[in-house]
Homo-oligomer: A and B are copies of this chain.
Amino acid sequence: MIIVMQPLASDADINRVVEKITGLGLKVHLSEGRYRTIIGVIGDKKVINGFPVEALPGVEKVVPVTESYKLVSREFKHEGSVIDVGGVPVGGESLVVMAGPCAVESRDQLLEAARAVKDCGAQFLRGGAYKPRTSPYSFQGLEEKGLEMLAEAREKTGLKIVTEVVDTQSVPAVSAYADVLQVGARNMQNYQLLKAVGKAEKPVLLKRGMAATINEWLNAAEYIMNEGNYNVIMCERGIRTFEDYTRNTLDLSAVAAVKSISHLPVIVDPSHGTGVGKLVQPMARAAVAVGADGLMVEVHPNPAEALSDGKQSLTPANFAGLMREVAGIAALMGRRLA
């Protein structure tokens, strides 16, 4: 941490800062310029975390040098992590595809979607049993009934199940049915939920919050790992910007950035990331080309009947086309569809 003093900071101001820092057991390094003094802080930054140096008189700004996360970083673990989901690897040389309807609506709809995405080569079935919706009057999901249908679909197809957990209380129920617990974008900074899934036995898929910086997203993963669950899959799903042609702005540079900073696998959701059906396939190609470890795609047997997000869902036929195109790029990237 570097502390930049104001040009007019007095010696007393500087001494006060130095005393505070050394009083915490840290070392300082003074650099006196013509106009101002700069104080380098040396030692375990956890000690100073939360101590409001900026509020001390004479301090202009504080510049962090190291990040506040540790377990997620490549400095902590150099090799890319491969998460084992009941025999299906996420990360490494495999490319995983998670597909299915936005929401579980009925047994028939789900089984039809499951068979379709299985036939096209997906390894995971996605589908929401609990749906966070902007309006309280929108369809909220089938809840535990939906979980049972997901389990049945797994039994019938062999697909792994990824589904959202929306509060701490439902973690045990969702864990009992799902192979991967999804934390949604709106809950990325619901720290109680992060701690709860951090104590669960199942891998976690952590969606990026719509206004979350890369740094905050990595810190959210750190919350989960800090509880002992190291099986975290990151999922880029678009950020909120001024552009209104798309529902969100899918930030593919974040995929490359996170993969350079962190050892965790990163997948991309071009369905929520664009919100526009015709953009899903091109962005799926781009996601694989940028280096993503997988895709999450909304596929509905009949998008025009979907109870949520039909606009961005693909038909099984469209999804088959997407898979063909993605396979070519995956091969170029040294990836195989598991």
- The answer to the question of A323 belonging to the interface, with a C-beta cut-off of 8 Å to chain B, is no
Contact between chains at B168 and A245 (CB < 8 Å): no
With both beta carbons as reference points, the residue of chain B lying nearest to A28 in the complex is identified as: B31
Q: Bound state CA distance, A190 and B18, in angstroms?
A: 42
- Near B by CB (< 8 A), chain A positions 292-338 give 303-311, 313, 328-329, 332
Q: Which of B134, B191, B211 contacts A210 (CB 8 A)?
A: B211
Is A87 in the interface zone, CB < 8 Å from B?
A: no
Interface assignment of A219: CB less than 8 Å from any CB of chain B = yes
- Choice from B210, B251, B286, B313 contacting A287 with Cβ under 8 Å: B286
User: Which residues of chain A from 247 to 269 have any CB-CB distance to chain B below 8 Å in the complex?
Assistant: 249-257, 260
Docked-complex contact A57 and B304, CB < 8 angstroms: yes
Q: Is the CB of B277 within 8 A of A285?
A: no
Instruction: Report the minimal beta-carbon distance from A197 to chain B, rounded to whole angstroms.
Output: 13
Q: Which residue among A285, A288, A332 has the maximum number of chain B CB atoms within 10 Å of its CB? A: A285
Chain B residues within an 8 Å CB radius of A36: 65
Q: Which of A59-79 contact B (CB under 8 A)?
A: 63, 65-66, 68-69, 75
Given contacts A4-B65, A304-B55, A332-B328, contact A214 B243 (CB under 8 A): yes
Task: Tell me the chain A residues, 23-77 only, with Cβ under 8 Å from chain B.
Answer: 29, 31-36, 38, 40, 42-43, 46, 49-52, 54-57, 63, 65-66, 68-69, 75
Docked complex Cα distance between A215 and B245 (Å): 8
Of chain B, the residue at the smallest CB distance from A44 is B34
Q: Check A239 against B249 for contact (C-beta < 8 Å).
A: yes
Copies in the complex: 4
What mask results when residues 162 to 196 of chain A are scored 1 for a CB within 8 Å of chain B, else 0?
A: 00001111000000000000000011011111000
Give min CB distance, A21 to chain B, whole Å. Answer: 12
| Neighbour of A216 across the interface among B40, B134, B328, CB < 8 A | B134
Q: Which of A204-252 contact B (CB under 8 A)?
A: 209-211, 213-216, 219, 222-223, 226, 239-246, 249-252
Most buried by B among A52, A66, A256: A52
A56 cross-chain contacts in B, Cβ below 8 A: 304
Residues in B neighbouring A169, C-beta threshold 8 A? 168-169, 192
**Residue on B with the closest CB to A291?**
B282
What B residues does A279 contact at CB under 8 A? 253, 256-257, 260
Closest B residue to A57 by CB, please name it: B304
Asked if A132 is at the interface of the complex by the 8 Å CB criterion, the answer is yes
B residues near A285, Cβ cutoff 8 Å = 289-290
B192 lies within 8 A of A277 (CB)? no
Query: Is A10's CB within 8 Å of the partner chain B?
Result: no
User: Which of the segments A91-99, A111-119, A136-144, A151-159 contacts the partner chain?
Assistant: A136-144
* Residues in chain B near residue A31, CB distance under 8 A: 29, 31, 40
Interface residues of A, Cβ cutoff 8 Å to B: 2, 4, 7, 20, 29, 31-36, 38, 40, 42-43, 46, 49-52, 54-57, 63, 65-66, 68-69, 75, 132-139, 166-169, 186-187, 189-193, 209-211, 213-216, 219, 222-223, 226, 239-246, 249-257, 260, 273-274, 276-279, 282-283, 285-291, 303-311, 313, 328-329, 332
